[in-house]
Chains A and B, each alone.
Chain A
Amino acid sequence: RKEVEQDPGPFNVPEGATVAFNCTYSNSASQSFFWYRQDCRKEPKLLMSVYSSGNEDGRFTAQLNRASQYISLLIRDSKLSDSATYLCVVNEYSGGGADGLTFGKGTHLIIQP
């Protein structure tokens, strides 16, 4: 059974702080990994892909640890607009398009002024 586990939170973080949360996955054959963002009562949207070497996009850094089967998301200098639910997504297949996506239930982040 494919499982993607996340701490549901909420994480209450003051504006400007750094916040990090992890996601664990059960299927060691998983090939690709992503973070999606979902605002309240909105649809999920791709935030960033997660590469083996780790990758950064502005204030956001994603890391992958295959040995321990977890991925992480770090947000620096958090903004009020970062408040959302962050969904960890794992793709079991390699190069297979978007087949086999499994979503975590999400981590709820609240940035406080």
Chain B
Amino acid sequence: DAGVIQSPRHEVTEMGQEVTLRCKPISGHNSLFWYRQTMMRGLELLIYFNNNVPIDDSGMPEDRFSAKMPNASFSTLKIQPSEPRDSAVYFCASSLRTGAYNEQFFGPGTRLTVL
């Protein structure tokens, strides 16, 4: 079975450009999470969705960041305009939420570098 799929795996862009990160969760999973990981701050939850509905976006750093989940099999995280401090690894994760805690499965991540 395919795991969580993320694209692109690497992205290098210049400050001010728009960046779109994509995620395909594991089929059948109903929760999707976007994380950002840096050496300084570790792994931070940006936003998560349950059944395609955003539940908590309190981790989104600022208005330059937006996330959508138009259907159960696709989500995007957009940064516009990008800044050098946005450089990080962005992970998408999915889980099957059935009440008790369910394991989150992470994608391979997108390594973003903003010059």
Residues of A at the B interface (CB closer than 8 Å) are 32, 34, 42-46, 49, 87, 91, 95-99, 101-106
B42 and A99 within 8 A (CB): no
Instruction: With A44-B106, A97-B101, A97-B102 as known contacts, state yes or no: A103 contacts B95, CB within 8 Å.
Output: no
- Residues 32 to 65 of chain B near chain A (Cβ within 8 Å): 33, 35, 41-45, 48, 50, 55-56
Instruction: With A43-B108, A98-B33 as known contacts, state yes or no: A32 contacts B101, CB within 8 Å.
Output: yes
Q: How far is the CB of A101 from chain B (nearest CB, A)?
A: 6
B43 and A46 within 8 A (CB): no
Q: How far is the CB of B91 from chain A (nearest CB, A)?
A: 6
**B107 at interface (Cβ–Cβ under 8 A)?**
yes
Instruction: With A98-B31, A98-B33 as known contacts, state yes or no: A91 contacts B109, CB within 8 Å.
Output: no
B41: A residues at CB distance < 8 A: 105
Complex Cα distance, B97 from A97, in Å, reads 5
A42: B residues at CB distance < 8 A: 108
B42 and A103 within 8 A (CB): yes
Complex Cα distance, B100 from A99, in Å, reads 10
B102: A residues at CB distance < 8 A: 97-98
A43 and B91 within 8 A (CB): yes
* Cross-chain pairs A/B with CB under 8 angstroms, 19 sampled: A43-B91, A43-B106, A43-B107, A44-B106, A45-B106, A46-B104, A87-B43, A91-B101, A95-B99, A95-B100, A96-B101, A97-B50, A97-B102, A98-B101, A98-B102, A98-B104, A99-B55, A99-B56, A101-B104
B91: A residues at CB distance < 8 A: 43-44
Complex Cα distance, B56 from A110, in Å, reads 36
Apart from A46-B104, A96-B101, A105-B41: 10 A-B pairs, beta carbons within 8 A: A44-B43, A44-B91, A49-B101, A87-B43, A95-B99, A98-B97, A98-B101, A101-B45, A101-B104, A103-B45
A46: B residues at CB distance < 8 A: 103-104
Q: How far is the CB of B25 from chain A (nearest CB, A)?
A: 12
B43: A residues at CB distance < 8 A: 44, 87, 103, 105
